[in-house]
Amino acid sequence: MARVETDVSGVEKRRPLSPHLQIYRPMLTMVMSIAHRITGAALYFGTLLLAWFLIAAAIGGSTFELAANCFNSIPGRVILFGFTWALIHHFLGGIRHIIWDTGHGFEPKEREWLTQATLYGGIALTAAVWVIAYLIQ
Amino acid sequence: MAKGSASVGTARNRVRFLGSARSGTADAWAIRVTSVMLVPLSIAFVSVVLSLLGKDHAAVRAELGHPIPAILMLFFILATVFHMKLGMQSIIDDYVHDMHLKEWSLIANLVFSISIGLACVYAMLKLSFA
């Protein structure tokens, strides 16, 4: 919190600031931490899609047809693909954080492995879910 | 001396709504508990959605109205709503510094999360019982 404080004579107190993001060289663990938060925020608003679909299914008729057609359209599929990736990425990132919360996986090689597993695992699993989706459709 | 001045500072900051709200530990724990729950529940959610692909409305109703997918979906929805409310709350706490904007953002977060939860639960119950 960047509050400007003044001392008794009204002179601005300049307090030392800790170095922030722009100081550091980007590292994968840092980028993935940011990605975890961004995918979380995206999923937050993505729940609107789930609510829309469930309400449309509960109402039925043309409301359901409209929702189904939107999700089936090319832009709808692109959005759902992004939703799937965000969900799986955040899911794997969450498992990584659970492992870290237990105090494991902090050695340089382990944390790099975990971070890469989240990144590439997220892409691979998203592709796998969509292959399954197209096979059973 | 140091202890005394620290407690005076805390009391003043508490009046100004600065400093610890003392609910941080419970929130940090709850976001982790819901994240552990969401590991199996997200797998269940994706499986239920996959099973709905290519089905017409009657089949979708039948699937979502069946007790096992319905209970899994309800569990997933409740865990998700708690988890997303806490997650967005920590984002707001981290980035929104203006006090009034922060309070309105926290209220909006609560309203959005409850609305999503109620809408999804209502729809699921209607699919099961209507």
Task: Enumerate the domain spans of chain A.
Answer: 27-136
Instruction: Quote the pLDDT of residue B41.
Output: 98
Question: What is the CATH topology of the domain spanning B23-129?
Answer: 3 helical TM bundles of succinate and fumarate reductases (1.20.1300)
Q: Within 10 A of A54 (CB to CB), how many other CB atoms are there?
A: 22
**CA–CA distances in Å: residue A85 to residues A54, A102, A132:** 21, 26, 14
- A110, A72 Cβ separation under 8 angstroms: no
Instruction: Quote the pLDDT of residue B4.
Output: 45
CA distance B45 to A50: 11
CA distance B109 to B89: 7
Average pLDDT over residues B33-61: 97
- A87, A43 Cβ separation under 8 angstroms: yes
Question: What is the CATH topology of the domain spanning A27-136?
Answer: 3 helical TM bundles of succinate and fumarate reductases (1.20.1300)
Interface residues of A toward B, Cβ cutoff 8 Å, are 1-2, 37, 40-41, 43-44, 47-48, 50-51, 54-55, 57-58, 60-61, 64-65, 68, 84, 87, 91, 94-95, 97-98, 101, 129, 132-133, 136-137
A44/B61 CB distance under 8 A = no
CA distance A72 to A79: 10
CA distance B2 to B7: 9
B116/A60 CB distance under 8 A = no
Burial bucket for residue B77 (CB in 10 Å: 0-12, 13-18, 19+): buried
DSSP state letter for A12: E
Confidence of residue A23 (pLDDT cuts 50, 70, 90): confident
CA distance B69 to A55: 16
What is the per-residue pLDDT across A100-120, written as a single tens digit (0 to 9) for each? 999 999 999 999 999 999 999
pTM: 0.86
Q: Which chain B residue is nearest to residue A87, measuring alpha carbons? A: B42
